[in-house]
Structure 1
Amino acid sequence: MASDRTKHLKRLRRLHRSARGWSVRAGLLTGATAILVPYSGLGLPDAFWAAGAGGSIAIAVWRWIDFRAFRALPVPPEPDPALAGSVAREKLVGLVQRLPAGRNAIAEFDRQRESFKLRGLSVAEPWRRLDRAATMLSGLIGRLGPAAEAAVLDATVAERQLRDLAQRCASVERTMRLGPAGDALRPAHQALAEQLEQGVTAYEQFVTAAASCVAEDSAAVGNLTDATAFLRGVAEGLADLRTPQGTPRPQTA
Structure 2
Amino acid sequence: MADQRARYFRRLRKLRRSARRWSVLGGGLGGATAILTPYSGLGLPDAAWAAAAGGSIALALWRWSDLRALAAQPAPPPPDQRSAEQRLVAAVERLPVGRGVLTGVRRGRSRLALRGSAAARPWARLNRATSTLAGFADRLTGPAAPAVLEAAVAERSLRELANRVAGVEKSLRCAPDESRSALRAAHRNLAEQLDRGVTAYEKLVAAAAGYLAEEGRIAEEHPAAAQLDEATALLHGVATSLAELRVWGDPASGPPTGRSTPQASH
Normalised to the residue count of structure 2, the TM-score between the two structures is 0.65
In structure 2, how many angstroms separate the alpha carbons of the residues matched to 1:219 and 1:192? Answer: 41
Unaligned runs of 5+ in 2: 219-266
1:213 to 2:228 alignment: no
User: What is the aligned counterpart of 1:184 among 171, 182, 185?
Assistant: 182
For 1:87 and 1:166, how far apart are their aligned partners in 2? 28
Give the drift of 1:19: 1.9
**Contact 1:176–1:183, Cα closer than 8 Å, also in 2:** no
Partner of 1:90 in structure 2? Answer: 86
Determine which structure has more spread, i.e. the larger CA radius of gyration: 2
Amino acid at match of 1:61: L
The answer to whether the aligner puts 1:14 opposite 2:14 as a matched pair is yes
For 1:81-230, list aligned pairs within 5 A: 84-179=80-175, 180=177, 181-216=179-214
The Cα RMSD (Å) is: 3.5
- Distance in 1 between the 2:51 and 2:127 partners? 75
Amino acid at match of 2:44: L
CA distance in 2, matches of 1:50, 1:9: 35
The residue aligned with 1:59 is: 59
How far apart are 1:115 and its partner, in Å?
Answer: 0.9
Q: Closer, same or farther in 2 for the Cα pair 1:143/1:28, shift >3 Å?
A: farther
Q: Is the 8 A contact 2:12 2:67 kept in 1?
A: yes
**Percent identity (aligned):** 52
Q: How many residues align?
A: 213
Tell me which moved more, 143-152 or 116-125.
143-152
String of CA shifts for 1:111-164, please: whole Å, max 9, x gaps: 111111111101011011112211222221212224322111111111111111
Q: Which deviates the most, 160-169 or 146-155? A: 146-155
Q: Contact 1:172 / 1:185 at 8 angstroms: preserved in 2?
A: yes
Residues 27/215 of structure 1: CA separation in 2 closer, same or farther (3 Å cut): farther
1:6: how far off? 6.2
Amino acid at match of 2:123: W
The change in CA–CA distance for 1:120 and 1:53 in structure 2 (over 3 A counts) is same
Structure 1 residue 88: deviation in Å?
3.0
